[in-house]
Amino acid sequence: MIWEPIDDLVKSVKTGRTSAVELVNRSLKAIADNQEYQAIISVLKDNAMARAKLVDQAVANGEDPGVLAGIPFIAKDNFLVYGSDTTAASNILKGFVPPYQASAINRLEAAGAICVAKANLDAFAHGASTENSDFFVTKNPHDKSRVPGGSSGGSAAAVALGLAPFALGTDTGGSIRQPASFCGVFGLKPTYGLVSRSGVVAMGSSLDCIGPLTRSAKDAAIVLDVMSGRDELDSTTIDKNAAGYSGVKALNLKGVRIGLVKEYMGEGVNEEVKAAIKRAVEDLAKRGAIISDVSLPSLPLALACYYIITPAEVSSNLSRYDGVRYGYRDKQAADLFESYTKSRGHGFGKEAKRRIMIGTYVLSSGYYDAYYKKAQTVRTKLINEFAAAFSSVDYLVGPVAPTTAFKIGENAQNPLAMYLSDVMTVAANLAGIPSLSLPLAKDKQNLPIGMQLMAAQKKDYELLSLAMAVEETIK
């Protein structure tokens, strides 16, 4: 099922041509009809219907129900949402009912949007395929034998299947953009701090970003406009664009300087992926864009840097799941120490344990300087190289991932191969810059290929404007 653009749906609700209740029912039916893809962990039917009735009542009373009036959406299950468990797809949080709600959810609901379900993910967002969920594996909407990407695979699959007009994801090293590419939808990772992380289960606190998965750049801009801006509950948040984002228009490409990242077009990248990117860049040049090759020499180090910093932050963030305060507690434990070890041992999956061990190792007194400190030095070098690149070009482009969606189980026993799925996306998180994936083409197997666009920090409006121009170019 394909949903109409968000602004069209809102107009229909506000003018009474349709109702919020009808939209929610449409979404719930789509969820029920597509259970075989296993994109959804839980459905919030009662809460969603109650909120839909409030929106419809506001319309009937002549009140403004908000810029997202009646729009159903799906949240990745690491967002705290009232009326639903928040599990982060991990057994250690199974049955956890949050005492408060994520700031992003609060802002969306205040604008009239309605959360209808929680989407599957790699447990604690640790993964690139949604195979690390402790509950089940989500299937790619274009081929059920393949992964949808990760860790926001459930959210990306939900949008591709038409379960809702938009979904929320988190992106720590590509977890919005890579599944967007694999599922053929639009995925936005904003500038770090543009959207509050309050009420979202933390993975890597200096890298995590909240963003939307949608059908188009315009829909993403509308959702971003509602969620973005400072939040007193998250000290890392920044001011939004003074004009907002919902009014963004397609960029006039004449004279726009676009850099094709050399390191993303080399060995190991699928030939069909490279060809699709090259064709798109040529089309942009025909519309007046000035294309050049850009090299960021430290990019080959980005993945190693990311997989030192991220596990270090993961090991710290996951220390709160101790079997004492909340979450799973092993009832057979004889004492506090045994409760701690058994609760964590049984509650965490393999990937969480792997990242805890790596993170603890690189932060240990004997290896902190050798690994963690050096990784942070490389991170600073990457930030400087991106800043230098954006002094000579306005935007950077390249593939989102080296390949299209791979088979379920293909990389499950090879963590290093799985980590390589993020090789083209982690640098944007390390540098804190906005980046997005838009559906570009399909390969010979009819699998989607995404194109990655990047801009300098706080240039989210401009990036969305470029995305709209690219969408017009490749229609």
Tens digit of each residue's pLDDT (9 = 90 or more) over 415-452: 777 877 899 999 999 999 999 999 999 999 999 999 99
Residue 176 and residue 172: Cα distance in Å, rounded? Answer: 8
Which range among 227-231, 277-281, 411-415, 469-473 shows the weakest confidence by mean pLDDT? Answer: 411-415
- Give the model's pLDDT for residue 413: 80
CATH number for the domain harbouring residue 209? 3.90.1300.10
Give me the catalytic one of 14, 19, 76, 421: 76
pTM to 2 decimals? Answer: 0.96
Domain that holds residue 33: 1-475
What stretch of H or E contains 376? helix 374-392
Six token digits for residue 98: 């949050």
Distance, CA of 325 to chain centre: 29
Give me the catalytic one of 175, 216, 228, 339: 175
Residue 451 and residue 184: Cα distance in Å, rounded? Answer: 10
Q: pLDDT by residue (tens digit) across 106-155?
A: 999 999 999 999 999 999 999 999 999 999 999 999 999 999 999 999 99
The residue ranges of DSSP E strands in 172-271, in sequence order, are: 186-189, 209-214, 257-261
Give me the catalytic one of 151, 155, 315, 465: 151
The tally of domains found in the chain comes to 1
Determine whether 175 is an active site residue.
Answer: yes
Determine whether 319 is an active site residue.
Answer: no
> Which position has the higher pLDDT, 323 or 175?
175
Using pLDDT thresholds of 50, 70 and 90, give the confidence band for residue 314: very high
Beta strands 72-76 and 166-171: pairing type? Answer: parallel
Determine whether 151 is an active site residue.
Answer: yes
Using pLDDT thresholds of 50, 70 and 90, give the confidence band for residue 412: confident
